[in-house]
Amino acid sequence: MEETIAGTEAAQIPQQRGESLLETAVRYAEERHWDVFPGSWLEAVDGMQRCSCGDASCPAPGAHPARPDWAAQATGSATVARRMWHKQPAASILLPTGRTFDALSVPESAGFLALARMERMELTLGPVTLAPDGRMRFFVLPGGSLKVAELVRRLGWAPASLDLVPLGEGGYVAAPPTRFGSRAVQWACRPTPANRWLPDAEELISPLAYACGRDR
């Protein structure tokens, strides 16, 4: 078991190994007020792990929406979340962007470089996921994704030249402990009471753009 968060909100999002997807999804809705929805899951087929979607070449096995109306299915109700994961306990936990947060997606190598730079700059970060697809996703205030192209241009970069992908309305992020292929999504910067208030995209764009530029 990893250390739980200290202080008066010690019960918030405890990072417990073996905690079920249902319990974690409920915590995200109840304690972080994030909308959640169940996605695809991994199944054993002929001794191999395959995505429940049935596509043997699925690009995101076990970590993508399982139905076309997923945006309408997403809920911030812990009761509804509990009911949905009761029906399919193995379903991945997906969080829609463009609601309580947007996300900025960068390659893992650039993400770690940016994190080190942000630490030196003493920036306050929101949660950051590290996924087995080799990408990190930095949570920012909703609406931040709409500003990214212009902010990058102001820094002297052409948006298309950087692998910095904004995720807003219509997008989603796979949340820990969702399994993505053979490994699980992790927190590079976990949710805590201290980062309940998210940064604006403008606060993070300089170190992220710099890191993506170096990573090309």
What is the pTM for the complete model shown?
0.90
Q: Provide the residue-wise pLDDT of the chain in tens; the chain has 216 residues.
A: 233 323 333 334 444 455 799 999 999 999 999 999 999 999 988 878 899 999 989 999 999 999 999 999 999 999 999 999 999 999 999 999 999 999 999 999 999 999 999 999 999 899 999 999 999 999 999 999 999 999 999 999 999 999 999 999 999 999 999 998 889 999 999 999 989 899 999 999 999 999 999 877
CB of 111 closer than 8 Å to CB of 165: no
Residue 24: is it exposed, middle or buried by C-beta count within 10 angstroms (0-12/13-18/19+)?
A: buried
CB of 40 closer than 8 Å to CB of 92: yes
Any idea where the domains of the chain sit in the sequence?
21-214
CB of 103 closer than 8 Å to CB of 34: no
CB of 61 closer than 8 Å to CB of 72: no
Within the chain, how many helices (H) and strands (E) appear? 6, 12
Dist CA 203 CA 41 (whole Å) = 35
